Amino acid sequence: MPFLFVAGRLYGPDAVGRYALAVVVIELGALIATLGLKRGLALALAKAEDAQQEIRTVWDALLLALIAGLIIGGFLFAIPQVMFPDGVTDGFDRWFALTIIPISLSDVALAALAYRRNIKASVTARAIIEPWTISVAVLVYYYVARDDGLTLAYMTALTAAMIASLVPMLRSYGLPRGWRPHLGRVAVMARRNAPLAGAETIEWGTRNVDRFILGMVFEPRIVGIYYMAQQISSIPQKLKSSFDPILGPVITQSLAKNDRAAIAQQVRQVGFWIMSAQAIVALMGSIPGEAVMGLIGPQFVAGTAALAFLLWGEVLATQGAVSEAALVYMARHFNLAISIFMLGFQIALSFALIHAIRALGYPVNYQAAGPAIALLLSLTMTSLIKAGVLRRMLGARVLAWRWSFLAAIAASVLVGTFFTWLPKRLEWAELLFGEPALVGAFLFVVWRYAFKPEDRTLFKKLPGAGTEPITA
């Protein structure tokens, strides 16, 4: 949030839009460079016979990510117009491509640590080092290299996150004894992870293809406004991804025991936790939406509608995301086929909604909300489809939905709406007092009516739960 505030207030929507289009290319390149290792590495490590084989497997994965990162980064370095379609400057635009390497290495290192239940390293790198580095750097670079400030801040933050990932990985695994780079062995790992890589790429594309579409149809200023709404809405998505490092290994271990009932229970319970946490963020962002976007800058208030659709899209996507955590191991090709089909549906619907809203005579900011609406509908349908497939495979209910969840949302909406009726001059009170009040209403109803005994046991850290919760 400090980064978004500084970027919005100092750099403006045009510069942010140009940066947003470049970052989407870098993130795609980095995702391809990891070749599904964020999930696939846990499966490979589970097959290791001893500690030394685990260490060699991790170093094979790092080598694979480095080679892929160099290839993709080198391509973008040679053709920087892919990242900056509006024109390349004489500054650091070309070197921005090399950011792919630290991202991919960091992802692999954190996946290796997650297998050994070290989640602290992921929190430190992704939730402390990276966001605070980019927030401080973007302010410093504004006075040192203003034209390249956003991209330089991004490069600095991701490099710092890589160091914060590799250091604990080395402490945990150490250097391998007798390990030699072996391209044939690395190629086998890449081939085995291809379906996982495809699923991750499609999932990423679902969240980011809207930026591509907006860049094709609108000027950078509109992309910049939408990007800010998208970044705020990514907070619920990060809440989901914070469970990935622990959920993946737990599911693979349950699969090894062929305990399908345990997998279904894990999907249901974790899905509800994630959905509840995401709903809090969605309520905090959508009810006082104009005030939230206004914090970034008055020019960004036009993205309020897009923000609301994006936030609730993430909530509705939770069921599909946790179901996919099991499907990528149980039916990886079928899961990939579903994702590809739904991504195509989302793209087609995005263009259709943009043109339909334009034909109805609505202004540009409403037209730009078309891809956000398409994302919400696509994520909802994908969740229902993948949950249905997983239920049939496990022979047990997997839906995380609890009807008392609706009552919690309703209570929060009532409280939050009351604060939006305050006069414009008291908008600060809407955020300062309204946000805690609506969160309190939601948590009270969830704790009182939605939580089951096993949920209460986990959060109170008391023994004797009827169903053993997932622990890290």
Residue 213 and residue 110 share a domain: no
**pLDDT at res. 454:** 63
pLDDT digits (tens, 9 = 90+) for 18-65: 999 999 999 999 988 887 777 777 777 777 778 888 888 888 889 888
Residue 338 and residue 325 share a domain: yes
**pLDDT at res. 241:** 67
Q: Which of 81-95, 246-260, 353-367, 458-472 has the lowest mean pLDDT?
A: 458-472
pLDDT of 282 > 60? The answer is yes
DSSP string, 289-331: HHHHHHHH-GGGGGGHHHHHHHHHHHHHHHHHHHHHHHHHHHS
- The mean predicted confidence, pLDDT, of the chain is 84
pLDDT of 418 > 80? The answer is yes
Residue 205 and residue 117 share a domain: no
pLDDT of 407 > 80? The answer is yes
pTM for this predicted structure: 0.77
Handedness of CA 427, 302, 358, 341 (dihedral sign): negative
pLDDT of 154 > 90? The answer is yes
pLDDT digits (tens, 9 = 90+) for 318-335: 888 888 878 877 887 888
Residue 391 and residue 380 share a domain: yes
Residue 224 and residue 163 share a domain: no
Q: What is the largest CA-CA distance in the chain?
A: 70
Contact yes or no for 434/421 (Cβ under 8 A): no
Q: How confident is the model at residue 462 (pLDDT cuts 50, 70, 90)?
A: very low
Residue 347 and residue 241 share a domain: yes
Residue 394 and residue 310 share a domain: yes
Quote the number of domains for the chain.
2
Residue 22 and residue 90 share a domain: yes
**pLDDT at res. 349:** 95
Q: Is 385 exposed, middle or buried (0-12, 13-18, 19+ CB in 10 A)?
A: middle
Residue 150 and residue 240 share a domain: no
The domain boundary, picked from 158, 192, 226, lies at 192
pLDDT of 465 > 50? The answer is no
**pLDDT at res. 203:** 75
pLDDT of 457 > 80? The answer is no
Residue 248 and residue 175 share a domain: no
The domain boundary, picked from 176, 192, 208, lies at 192
Q: How confident is the model at residue 471 (pLDDT cuts 50, 70, 90)?
A: very low
Q: How confident is the model at residue 186 (pLDDT cuts 50, 70, 90)?
A: low
| Range(s) of the domain holding residue 153 | 1-192
